[in-house]
Chain A
Amino acid sequence: MSDNALLEVRDLYVQFATPEGIVPAVDGIDFDIKKGRTLAIVGESGCGKTVTALSLLKLLKSPPAKITADSIKLDGLDIYNLSPNEIRKIRGKDISMIFQEPMTSLNPVFRISKQMNEVYKTHTNLNNKQIQEACIEALRTVGVPEPEKKYVAYPHELSGGLRQRVMIAMALSSKPKLLIADEPTTALDVTVQAQILMLLRRMCQNSGMSVLLITHDFGVVADLAEDVVVMYAGKIVEFGPLNTVLYSPKHPYTKALIDSIPGLRVKRGGRLNSITGMVPNLLRLPEGCRFAPRCSQANEKCTRLQPEIEQISDQGVACFRWRELN
C-alpha cells in the first residue's frame, strides 16, 4: 500500500481443524504496520488477535492450524513463503515477541543467564565474555536493579514485573525491526504496568522499531499505540489512527466497546451501556455481519450479507450503515 510500511499483511487466514469442524480464527484480514510506529490490535478474548500475532512468525502448530495468506511482507521480504529454517532466523532477530505471562514464558529450570545467552549465541558472533557483558548491559537498560545479581538468578526469584523486564531485554537484544507485544502488561499490577509501559515507550523511541501491540485494554492502547485495528470474531471491523478510532469511532462494535468501559461517559453508579449477548461461536458464525446479532442498529441486510471494509482517508470501517449512523 504505502512505501513506509514495515509489515504488510494481505488476506491472512488462520483455520484450526477441530473434531467439531474448522474454526476460522482469523478470517481474511489485511493490515500494515508503518516504520517506527505502534499498531494495536484490540478485541475481546477469542477474536483472533493473538492468533494473528502468532501466525506472523508461524508459531502455531500445524496441523491443527492452517495459515494461508496472499502475502506477509517484512520490509519488502516475503516471510510467508519462507521455509521453517529460514523463518527461525527471522524469529528473535528481525521480529521478536514478548508474551502475556511473564510467569510462564521463562523456563523455570534455567538461570536467566542461560536463557539470555542463548538469544545472543543464535543471532550474534560474540564470544562468551562479550555475551555476558551485553546481557548485563541489556538488563541495566530495561531498569533491572543489580543486573549482575539478577543475571544469575532463576526466574522464580524475580517478581512479575522484573520477569517482564527480562523478557523485554531478551526481545530487544537483537535490535528487531518489529516487536510483537502480546498483552505485555495484563498480568501485572497497575503501578508495575505503568513502569513497563513507560519502558516500552522509551525503548521504541530510542530504537525506532515498530511494535505490534495485542491487547484487550483500551487504556493500554490509548497509552502506547498510534494506529489501531479493532477485531471481532476473526475479522477487522475498524481501523485507523488512535485519535479517530478512540474518540470518533464509526463502527457500532467499537462504539459499544468503548461505551461499556466504566467511567468514561456514564455517571458513577448508573447503568453501563453494555453489549447484549456474547461473542459468537466461531463454529457457528452468523451468516451476515458477525456483529449483527448483538448490534442495536442491525437491519435485514446486515443479517444477510457480510460488509467489506470501506476506507475513508486513513480510517476503515466494515459496516453497511456507518454513514447513516454517524
Chain B
Amino acid sequence: MKSTLFEVKNLKTYFPVNRGFFRNVVNYVHAVDDISLEIMSGETLGLVGESGCGKTTFGRTIIRLVPATSGEIIYKGENLIKLDDKKLRALRGEIQIVFQDPYSSLNPKRTVSQMLNEILMVRGGINRAEANERTSDLLIQVGLSPIYAARFPHEFSGGQRQRIAIARAIALNPKFVVCDEAVSALDVSIQSQVINLLIDIKAKSDMTYLFISHDLKVVQHISDRVAVMYLGQIVEIGPTDTIFENPLHPYTKALLSAALTLDKDKKKQRIILEGETPSATIIPKGCRFNGRCWKATEKCRCEVPKLEEVSPGHSVSCFYIEE
C-alpha cells in the first residue's frame, strides 16, 4: 500500500474583490472551495478542468505560493499552512513547480548556470565547482548539452526552455513536483518529448507529480489517478481508467465527450453543454453544475451534493449517479 504524501483537508482559497474609493472588500472569488484529497507517494495525480475552475490556484496553494484561506495541508506530519517561513524554506527544496509558460518563468537576465548554481549553492549547500558539475548533470538529464549552461533563456526554443524549467525544479531532488500546464504551450512534437522526459524522471527518482492540465489526452496518458474540478470543487476523482472509461458525474461525461478524438471507433455522440462556467464570485445555489446540467432537478438547485465514494478509490459528487 502506498503511503500518503500530501493530505489536503477542507482547503479553501478565496481572493477578495475590492471596489470603490476605500477598496472595500465587496466579495470573494471562491477559487478553491473546500477541497479534500490525498496525494499518494510516487503517483501522478492529474487535475483537469476548464479555465477558471481553480486548478492552478489549487496547485499553487498546496505548495504555499498562494496563501490558503482555511483548511489543512499535511505534508510529513506537518501542516504547511501553519509552518513558519524558516521551516517552510527548508521544505522548499522538496516541493517544486514547473510553470506553464516557459517564456516568462525563466529570468531573462541570468544564464542557465547562474540560475541552477544559485539553487544548488544556496539551498543544496555545495560549492561552486560541485554546483557546476551538478548543473551539467542536470542538463544532460533533461536532454540538453552541458555547453548550454552559459546561455541565456532567449537563446532557447520553447521546448528547450521548458526542459530548463524542469531541470530547475528537479535540481534539489524534490519529492513532489507540481506541473502546472507544463506542456500546454508546446507544439505536439515537442510536447511529446517533454512528456517522455517527465515520465523518465519519475521512473528514475520515484517522484510524485500533481499534473495540472486542461488537455485530457495528456492527462490520461501520464496520470495514475485523475481529479476533475469544476468551479473550485472536485466533482469526481478516481483511477485514470475508471474516470475515462466509466465517468459518473455529468460534468466529467460532458468534458470527456467534448474532447476531440482521432480514434475512429471512439467517435460518439457528443454532449454539448449549454453556456459557460459561471463566475467564481457568484456561486450558484445547490450543485454548482446545475445551471448547465441536463439532469438537474429541483433537488440539485437547493441541496449541495457531497463527494462520496461509489467504488474503491472512485468518488463522485452528484445526486443522480447511474451505472
Contact = CB atoms under 8 A, between A and B. Distances in A.
A17 interface: no
Contacts of B19: none
B310 interface: no
Interface string B252-273: 0011011111111000001011
Contacts of A258: 262
What bracket does the count of chain A residues touching chain B fall in? Answer: 35 or more
Contacts of A247: 264
A216 B192 contact: no
Given A271-B200, A274-B195, 5 more contacts: A44-B187, A195-B272, A260-B189, A268-B240, A273-B192
Contacts of B270: 194, 198
Interface of B: 50-51, 157, 159-160, 187-193, 195-196, 199-200, 214, 216-218, 220-222, 224, 240-241, 254-255, 257-264, 270, 272-273, 275-277
A189 interface: yes
B40 to A, nearest CB: 15
Given A247-B264, A262-B221, A278-B157, A193 B258 contact: yes
A260 B259 CA distance: 17
Of the candidates A190, A222, A273, the one having the most CB atoms from chain B within 10 angstroms of its own CB is A190
A159 B192 contact: no
Of the candidates B189, B195, B196, the one having the most CB atoms from chain A within 10 angstroms of its own CB is B189
A272 B222 CA distance: 10
Contacts of A76: none
A278 B191 CA distance: 11
Nearest to A224: B260
B191 A190 contact: no
Given A256-B189, A262-B217, A278-B157, A195 B273 contact: yes
A263 B221 contact: yes
A313 interface: no
27 contacts: A44-B187, A44-B188, A44-B189, A45-B187, A189-B50, A189-B214, A189-B277, A190-B50, A190-B216, A194-B273, A195-B273, A217-B260, A218-B188, A247-B264, A258-B262, A260-B189, A262-B192, A262-B217, A262-B220, A262-B221, A268-B220, A268-B221, A269-B221, A269-B224, A272-B195, A274-B193, A278-B189
A191 B255 contact: yes
Contact of A223 (B188, B221, B260, B273): B260
Nearest to A223: B260
B222 to A, nearest CB: 7
A272 B75 CA distance: 32
B260 A219 contact: yes
Contact of B262 (A145, A218, A271, A275): A218
Contacts of A195: 272-273
B155 to A, nearest CB: 12
Interface in A273-298: 273-276, 278-279
Interface in A186-236: 189-195, 197-198, 216-220, 222-223
Contacts of A256: 189
A246 interface: yes
A222 B258 contact: no
A1 interface: no
Interface of A: 44-45, 145, 159, 161-162, 189-195, 197-198, 216-220, 222-223, 246-247, 256-258, 260-264, 266, 268-276, 278-279
Contacts of A276: 193
Nearest to A272: B192
A269 B222 contact: yes
A194 B272 contact: yes
Of the candidates A217, A222, A266, A276, the one having the most CB atoms from chain B within 10 angstroms of its own CB is A222
A246 B262 CA distance: 8
Contacts of A192: 50, 276
A309 B221 CA distance: 35
Contacts of A161: 276
B189 A257 contact: yes
Across chains A and B, which 10 residue pairs bring their CB atoms closest together, nearest first?
A219-B260, A262-B221, A260-B192, A274-B192, A194-B258, A189-B50, A272-B192, A275-B189, A44-B187, A274-B193
B260 A222 contact: yes
A270 B264 CA distance: 22
A262 B218 contact: yes
A37 B193 CA distance: 35
Nearest to A259: B192
A271 B196 contact: yes
Contacts of B240: 268
Contacts of A217: 260
A216 B220 CA distance: 20
A186 to B, nearest CB: 11
B263 A257 contact: no
Contacts of A197: 260
B227 to A, nearest CB: 16
Contacts of A189: 50-51, 214, 276-277
B228 to A, nearest CB: 12
B195 A219 contact: no
Contacts of B160: 278
B258 A190 contact: yes
A191 B193 contact: no
B195 A262 contact: yes
A18 to B, nearest CB: 16
Given A263-B220, A278-B157, A278-B159, A222 B262 contact: yes
A197 B270 CA distance: 11
A261 B262 contact: yes
A220 B216 CA distance: 14
